[in-house]
Amino acid sequence: MASEGGEKPEVFGVERVAVTTRSYDWIIPTLRLLAFFATLAAALVMALNKQKKTFVVATIGTTPIQVTLTAKFRHTPAFVFFVIVNGIASLHNLLMLIVNLVGRKFDYKGLRPLVIAALDMMNVALVSGGVNAAAFMGQLGRDGNSHARWNKICDKFESYCDRGSGAMLASFIGLGLMIIVNIISIVKLRNHKLVNSSIVP
Amino acid sequence: MASEGGEKPEVFGVERVAVTTRSYDWIIPTLRLLAFFATLAAALVMALNKQKKTFVVATIGTTPIQVTLTAKFRHTPAFVFFVIVNGIASLHNLLMLIVNLVGRKFDYKGLRPLVIAALDMMNVALVSGGVNAAAFMGQLGRDGNSHARWNKICDKFESYCDRGSGAMLASFIGLGLMIIVNIISIVKLRNHKLVNSSIVP
């Protein structure tokens, strides 16, 4: 099919269908571009998230003894994982955009849509894992857990927690966009099948 | 196609292909059954996970003052989410097995494989989110986090942590199986397309 590359365009009655498919061809790249920006923003905001705070822990005479603590994403494994998976997802979406622009001729045995759909699905799984792990860790930071005697820390590091929440929101938006891309890809594979079987005599 | 229901079987040369496809029809149900058992086991083990432990906190005269603490999955939001998503995934896999057995005739406009693939993908995202959130929370329980002053608790609740880890392992196995099912489903959609386009004159 003309809009996909790997098919034979000489079949009677296919031209009209190909044009119809092509008119919706901007949807997936647009969603991918948005997902790319969302996951990139999530990775960057979380990776650059840092807050220094100085506490007075004691007073000797009139001299206050101060301790400066720094909250960094690197201190929490879930946040490190979050940055890694959002970085992978934004790279993946960028690569798929480039493949979409220039890679139509490099379609070995029509395997490209299949490989893209499988990679998309694995990226959805990765981002979902990363953002959920970070979200539950963030919830622990905000509320603490009295049963485990883990105190909340967001009352001390407010802007750190707010920026972290922003990164998670961006990542959740990226995840939603990637799920929509995935569903549209599956629908497209399915529609090609219906189109091809309908032109069988 | 005979093996899928929604196609026209009268096309020349399709019978052989349909038989070939049918001979691999046991793979997805088998993987689904295994994924069902894995996610069900994960949900049950985590939901029933509970450990009581008695600590001596003080001694008045010769009478020790004891405190009994109970570790339950319900105290950690990530573990509650873990039980919910593994429950949903096992229900989904069971339902898909039933649809596979009895639902071939209820295929409205050939939408069934599409809906199944989309639901499969969303379940992969859910389980991945649940198991990763639980795993990072479990890692916190085992190692603690000195930066946030969260102490480890697995040194006091060893068998609770071990059972939780077992549940997570089962869930990761279920997740892997569901990803494989998803990839095979996409390959199947793709192969139908190739088969159908190859029989075009």
Q: What is the pLDDT of residues B136-169, one digit of tens each?
A: 999 998 888 888 888 888 888 888 899 999 999 9
Which structural domain range is residue B174 located in? 14-198
Please list the pLDDT of chain B residue by residue as tens digits (201 residues): 344 444 444 444 444 444 445 557 788 899 999 999 999 999 999 999 888 888 787 888 888 888 888 888 888 899 999 999 999 999 999 999 998 888 666 666 667 788 888 899 999 999 999 999 999 999 998 888 888 888 888 888 888 899 999 999 999 999 999 999 999 988 887 776 555 554 444
8 Å CB contact of A147 and B71: yes
Work out how many domains chain A is built from and give that number: 1
Give φ, ψ of B54 to 5 degrees: -105, 125
8 Å CB contact of A179 and B121: yes
Per the domain annotation, does A23 fall within a domain?
no
How much is the pLDDT for A158?
86
Per the domain annotation, does A5 fall within a domain?
no
Neighbouring C-alpha atoms within 13 Å toward the C-beta of B144 = 15
Per the domain annotation, does A190 fall within a domain?
yes
Residue B113: its chain A contacts at CB < 8 A? 190
CA pair distance A111, A95, nearest whole angstrom: 16
Residue B133: its chain A contacts at CB < 8 A? 129, 132-133, 135-136
CA pair distance A62, B49, nearest whole angstrom: 53
Per the domain annotation, does B4 fall within a domain?
no
CA pair distance A151, B3, nearest whole angstrom: 58
pTM above 0.95, yes or no: no
Per the domain annotation, does B161 fall within a domain?
yes
Strands A63-72 and B63-72: unpaired
Q: Where are the alpha helices (DSSP H) in chain B?
A: 14-22, 27-47, 77-102, 112-143, 158-198
Per the domain annotation, does A1 fall within a domain?
no
Between A147 and A21, residue with greater pLDDT:
A147
Segment A176-193 mean pLDDT = 84
Q: Where does residue B66 rank: exposed (0-12), middle (13-18), buried (19+ CB within 10 A)?
A: exposed
Per the domain annotation, does A8 fall within a domain?
no
Beta bridge partners of B71: B51
Per the domain annotation, does B192 fall within a domain?
yes
Decide: B82 and B137 in contact? Cβ < 8 Å: no
8 Å CB contact of B77 and A136: yes
Segment A7-31 mean pLDDT = 60
Question: Which residue of A88, A132, A161 is the best one to mutate when testing the B interface, meaning the one whose CB has the most B CBs within 10 A?
Answer: A132
Question: Which residue of A21, A154, A186, A187 is the best one to mutate when testing the B interface, meaning the one whose CB has the most B CBs within 10 A?
Answer: A186
Question: Which residue of B189, B197, B199 is the best one to mutate when testing the A interface, meaning the one whose CB has the most A CBs within 10 A?
Answer: B197
The pLDDT tens digits of the residues spanning A65-106 come to 888 888 888 888 999 999 999 999 999 999 999 988 886 666
How much is the pLDDT for A107?
66
DSSP state of B145: B
How much is the pLDDT for B106?
65
Q: What is the mean pLDDT of chain A?
A: 81
The set of residues, in sequence order, having a beta carbon less than 8 Å from that of A109 and lying 6+ positions away, is A6
DSSP letter for each residue of B57-114:
EEEETTEEEEEEEEEEGGG-HHHHHHHHHHHHHHHHHHHHHHHHHHGGG--GGG-HHH
| Closest Cβ opposite residue A196 in set B147, B186, B196 | B196
DSSP reduced 3-state for B51: strand
